[in-house]
Every structure is written in structure tokens, then in C-alpha cells.
């Protein structure tokens, strides 16, 4: 990423903090002329719960530089009160209800946003609750071994002096985002809005390996389809379902970024940050177009596969029919010869009964008559079967 131009963060504000207003510094997301909320008394430090395991990392920043790394949420709250121009960045992974309600009480988060963050399984969206932005993102991670896409969910609360990330899933790697921002203090100095940009950029950049992996899968599936692999249909179906999920993750981002762009002038967004957000919007558009292309390609591949399977089934049915016809022809021949041979057998059986009272036994022409009868019957049957193409 190119080195951003340092912007004015406007960090002057009074030391007193309430859960809503948090001082007089004007956030670029803050609605012009919005009234400051009166401070509310929070629970005593001794009454706060012990640090939950879901807190991945919490840090306090001032002028783009980390000034402290509190060990607990309580320490983070206290350190932020002691830093009039500071910004807290708290990262959570699958937090409990109690942890989110503790953050909601401290930072005056809207109950509806907190409920969404608790339940998860939300579609990407951007909503404003007073001075706080609530952003839901769907990150994607391509798994090489099983050749499938794993989707994670990320909820981001962006306020005048805080950023809270609630992660449900392995992606994205927000530790890398934090290190990147700390390595560019001139960008981090722009405040919570810059952190939101970095998170959006990380999520969108994470789509690139997924797009490459899916493209490779589609190439493999095409080879399997024309090779007649019976597993091709299953892979097409599974990948199509993943692309539907991928489309649900990427399509709303365009509208979200357009909404942010529309508020640039209204909320005084830094010009350099505007450029970076427009760059993210371009990447989102490119990714969305690729996903649409993938869905169309999979649909066409599925049609081709169905056609090839039908052709293969027709060929197999034709082969079975030909085999049955040949078998019938053999049965006709066998049956014909069996009938021909049955005639002399019948005559011979009659004369082989050896009864005393058989008038033909004393007849001098009986033997040649029997042979002639057997021959005539055999020749007659042969002619009949030959005319019917049984022989």
C-alpha cells in the first residue's frame, strides 16, 4: 500500500468522558451538530468481571502510536478515560453476552447492534446509531486441503474514539491489520475511520486468494466433466453453493461503500482516506464481477455435464439394447435347432417303447418310413425357421 498522506485528526478534546459523547473531538463520522450525551456512571472497577478469554488484543493509541496495551477490558476503559485524545482498539473473538453488554454500557452501543453481534449470522450491512457506525462484514478464506471456502463473520463498532471488532470465524486476520496500521502511524493518526478502512481493505483483499482458488477449482471441474468423472456433479453443486454464499458476502459491500462515499463531504472525511476507500470500492466491484462470472460458468458447466451424462446414458442404453438383440438372436438359433432335433427324437422315442402290439413293427417299409418322416419334419422346420431369419 502506498504511504498515505498525513491528515489532521483534530485530537483536542476535554478530559472528561461519558459513554456516549466521549469528549469534544469531532469524528469525521459524527453528524454535524449532534448533541453530546451526558456522562453516565459506570460500574466500579472492583465490580467488573474478570478478563474474558475472548479478548484477542486491546490497545490504546494516541497520534497514531500505541501508548498502552491494557490487560483487561476494565484497564482499557480506565486507560481511555486517562487519555483525552486517545483511541481504543479492542478485538474480540466469539465474546459472551456479558462481555458485549459490558462494552455496550461503556461505549453506549445501541441494543439492536449488540443483539446482532451476539447472534451473528448477519448479512453484510452498515448502519449508523447516533455517533457510532455498526458494520457487518463476511470474510472468506480458501482452504487448500479440502478445496473449499470457509466464511467468517466480523462485526465492527466505530465510534468517535474507539473501534471494537467482534469476530465469528477464523478470517480475517485482524492481528495483521493491527500490525499494518501500527507500521503506518500517519494513517492510524486519522482515527477510527482509518481503522475501519484498514479492516475493509483486509476483508476485500482476502477475497483475492478465494477467487484464485475457485478459478482453479472450476478449471479442474471442467477437466473432470469432459473426462466423464462421476464426482464432477457433486463438486459443481458444492462449489455453486459456495458461490451463492460468496455472492451474499460481496454484493452488499458495493452499497455500503457507496453510502460511505456519499458521506465524505458531510462528515469531513480526510481526502487521502477517501482515495483509499474508493480503491477498496474498485476491488469490491472487481470481486463481485468475478463471482458473478463464476456462478454463470458453473451454471453452464452443470448444463454441459448434464448433457454429457445424458449422452453417456443413451450410449449405455443403446449398447444394452444391442446386447439384448444379439442375445435374442442367439436364443432364436438355439430354439430353432432344438425344435429341429426334437422331431427325430420324438419318432425314435415312439418306436423305442417296445410294445408287442405295434402294427408298424411287422411292416417291411416301417423302418424307411420312420427315417423319411424324421427327415421331412427336420427339413420342413429348417425351411420355416430360415424364412423367419431365425437361422
User: Is 263 a residue whose pLDDT tops 80?
Assistant: no
Calculate mean pLDDT across residues 160-186: 88
Angle, CA of 89, 90 and 93, to the nearest 5°: 145
- What are the two backbone dihedrals, phi and then psi, of residue 325, each rounded to the nearest 5 degrees? -65, -45
What's the whole-number mean pLDDT along residues 179-207?
Answer: 91
Residue 143 pLDDT exceeds 80:
yes
Q: What rounded mean pLDDT belongs to the chain?
A: 79
C-alpha cell at 213: 482458488
Confirm if 187 and 48 have CB atoms less than 8 A apart.
Answer: no
pLDDT in tens, 23-43: 333 333 322 223 333 333 333
Residue among 55, 65, 94, 59 nearest 80 (CA):
59
Q: Residue 163 CB: number of other CB atoms within 10 A?
A: 23
Q: Are 327 and 350 in contact (CB under 8 A)?
A: no
Task: Give the chain's radius of gyration (CA, Å).
Answer: 41
pLDDT at residue 261 tops 70: yes
Q: Are the C-beta atoms of residues 246 and 210 closer than 8 Å to each other?
A: yes
Can you name the residues that pair with 142 across neighbouring β-strands? 149
Give the pLDDT score at 205.
92
Confidence of residue 350 (pLDDT cuts 50, 70, 90): confident
* Alpha carbons 234 and 301: distance in angstroms, whole number: 12
pLDDT tens by residue, 124-140: 999 989 889 999 999 99
Per DSSP, the three-state class of 109 is coil
pLDDT at 343 over 60: yes
Distance CA 85, CA 62 (A): 6
Number of neighbouring beta carbons within 10 Å of residue 345: 11
- Neighbouring residues of 137: CB distance < 8 A, sequence distance ≥ 6: 124, 153, 154, 155, 156, 199, 200, 203, 253
pLDDT band at 292 (very low <50, low <70, confident <90, very high): very high
Across 309-316, average pLDDT? 84
Residue 381 has pLDDT above 70, yes or no: yes
Q: How confident is the model at residue 344 (pLDDT cuts 50, 70, 90)?
A: confident
What is the pLDDT at residue 306? 87
Read off the pLDDT of each residue in 43-58 and give the average, rounded to a whole number.
Answer: 52
**Poorest-pLDDT segment among 29-33, 45-49, 237-241, 369-373:** 29-33
- Tell me what pLDDT residue 268 has: 65
Closest CA to 150 of 168, 165, 170: 170
Mean pLDDT for the stretch of residues 198-208: 92
348 compared with 151, residue with greater pLDDT: 151
Which pLDDT belongs to residue 57?
85
The angle, 0 to 180 degrees and rounded to 10, between the axes of the packed helices 271-351 and 232-262 is 160
Give the pLDDT band of residue 6 (cuts 50, 70, 90).
very low
- CA distance to 152, 204, 212, 270, 302, per residue, from 139 (Å): 5, 8, 15, 26, 27
pLDDT of amino acid 210: 93
Residue 47 has pLDDT above 90, yes or no: no
Question: Using the 8-state DSSP alphabet, how is residue 190 labeled?
Answer: T
What's the confidence (pLDDT) of residue 43? Answer: 39
Q: Which pLDDT band holds residue 264 (cuts at 50, 70, 90)?
A: low
Identify the pLDDT of residue 245: 92
d(CA 195, CA 192): 5
Count Cβ neighbours within 10 Å for each residue of 38-75 and write b for 16 or more, e otherwise: eeeebeeeeebeebeeebeebbbbeebeeebebebbbb
Lowest mean pLDDT among 51-65, 106-120, 132-146: 51-65
What is the per-residue pLDDT across 53-74, written as a single tens digit (0 to 9) for each?
477 788 999 988 999 888 888 8
pTM score of the predicted model: 0.67
Provide the pLDDT for residue 3.
39
CA–CA dist 20, 120 (Å, integer): 24
Amino acid at each position: 500500500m502506498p504511504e498515505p498522506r498525513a491528515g489532521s485528526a483534530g485530537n483536542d478534546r476535554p478530559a472528561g468522558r461519558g459513554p456516549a459523547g466521549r469528549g469534544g473531538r469531532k469524528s469525521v463520522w459524527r453528524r454535524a451538530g449532534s448533541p453530546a450525551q451526558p456522562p453516565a456512571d459506570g460500574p466500579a472497577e472492583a465490580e467488573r468481571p474478570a478478563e474474558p478469554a475472548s479478548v484477542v488484543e486491546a490497545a490504546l493509541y494516541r497520534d497514531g502510536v500505541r501508548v498502552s496495551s491494557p490487560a483487561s477490558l476494565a484497564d482499557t476503559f480506565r486507560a481511555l478515560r486517562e487519555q483525552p485524545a486517545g483511541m481504543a482498539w479492542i478485538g474480540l473473538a466469539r465474546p459472551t453476552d456479558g462481555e458485549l453488554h459490558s462494552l455496550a454500557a461503556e461505549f453506549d452501543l445501541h441494543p439492536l447492534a449488540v443483539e446482532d453481534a451476539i447472534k451473528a449470522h448477519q448479512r453484510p450491512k452498515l448502519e449508523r446509531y447516533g455517533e457510532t457506525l455498526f458494520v457487518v462484514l463476511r470474510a472468506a478464506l480458501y482452504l487448500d486441503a479440502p478445496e473449499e471456502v470457509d466464511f467468517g463473520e466480523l462485526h465492527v463498532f466505530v465510534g468517535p474514539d474507539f473501534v471494537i471488532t467482534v469476530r465469528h470465524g477464523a478470517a480475517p486476520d485482524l492481528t495483521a491489520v493491527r500490525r499494518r496500521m501500527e507500521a503506518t502511524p500517519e494513517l492510524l493518526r486519522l482515527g477510527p475511520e482509518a481503522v475501519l478502512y484498514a479492516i475493509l481493505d483486509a476483508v476485500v483483499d482476502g477475497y483475492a486468494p478465494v477467487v484464485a482458488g475457485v478459478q482453479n477449482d472450476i478449471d479442474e471441474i471442467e477437466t473432470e466433466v469432459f473426462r466423464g468423472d462421476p464426482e464432477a456433479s457433486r463438486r459443481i453443486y458444492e462449489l455453486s453453493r459456495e458461490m451463492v454464499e460468496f455472492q451474499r458476502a460481496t454484493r452488499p459491500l458495493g452499497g455500503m461503500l457507496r453510502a460511505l462515499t456519499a458521506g465524505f463531504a458531510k462528515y469531513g472525511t480526510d481526502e487521502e482516506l477517501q482515495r483509499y476507500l474508493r480503491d477498496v470500492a474498485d476491488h469490491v466491484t472487481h470481486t463481485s464481477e468475478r463471482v458473478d462470472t463464476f456462478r454463470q460458468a458453473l451454471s453452464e458447466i452443470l448444463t454441459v455435464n448434464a448433457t454429457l451424462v445424458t449422452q453417456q446414458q443413451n450410449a449405455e442404453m443403446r449398447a444394452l439394447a444391442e446386447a439384448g438383440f444379439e442375445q435374442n438372436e442367439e436364443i432364436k438359433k438355439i430354439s430353432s435347432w432344438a425344435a429341429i432335433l426334437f422331431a427325430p427324437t420324438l419318432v425314435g422315442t415312439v418306436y423305442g417303447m417296445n410294445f408287442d402290439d405295434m402294427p408298424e413293427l411287422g411292416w417291411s417299409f416301417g423302418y424307411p418310413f420312420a427315417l423319411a418322416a424324421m427327415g421331412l419334419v427336420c427339413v420342413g422346420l429348417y425351411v420355416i425357421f430360415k424364412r423367419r431369419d431365425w437361422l
